[in-house]
Amino acid sequence: MRLGSVYFALLGAVTLACGFADLMISISGEYCSWWIVEVPGDMFRGGWGGLIVLFAGLFYISGARNIYEIHQLSKVMMGSILIWLIAGCDILARITESIPGGDEGWFNSMEGFLGGCAPPYFPAMLLLPFSLVVIYYIRKVE
């Protein structure tokens, strides 16, 4: 039980930091990329999306204590749902942008497609695998 609480508290803190970074960078209007992470500087993905990542962090932190209690677990689950939502939109956007071929033809080449889907990724996409842990706890509680 304690392990789950510590895990989601930590994940919450990291998610909160990512959301805050998204917001700050989008307010500054700068695009930021480091190693496999990139933070968009636009108000839609960075600002609006960053705000949702921030909310996800708050859900995780508020639900981390006593995680087997159904109300607490539902907050953690909501945090994960928000991450899935943002990451899902990011993944869809990458795929839809990588398929058309632009000036060179109707469809992109395989290399071009894979290049479009390659890192760096937005923070929510990197948080996605970590957010899936909630499924284990849902199964356990149910």
The answer to whether residue 1 forms part of the interface with another protein (CB under 8 A) is no
Bridge partners (DSSP) of residue 32 are 39
The answer to whether residue 117 forms part of the interface with another protein (CB under 8 A) is no
- If the CB atoms of residues 36 and 43 are measured against another protein, the closer one turns out to be 43
Span 33-92, contacts to another protein by CB under 8 A: 43-45, 48-49, 51-52, 55, 58-59, 70-71, 73-75, 77-78, 82, 85-86, 88-89, 92
| Half-sphere exposure for 50 (CA within 13 Å, toward CB) | 21
Backbone angles phi, psi at 122, to 5 degrees: -70, 155
| Half-sphere exposure for 40 (CA within 13 Å, toward CB) | 16
The answer to whether residue 138 forms part of the interface with another protein (CB under 8 A) is yes
The answer to whether residue 133 forms part of the interface with another protein (CB under 8 A) is no
Closest separation in Å from C-beta 7 to another protein: 19
First-last CA distance in the chain: 15
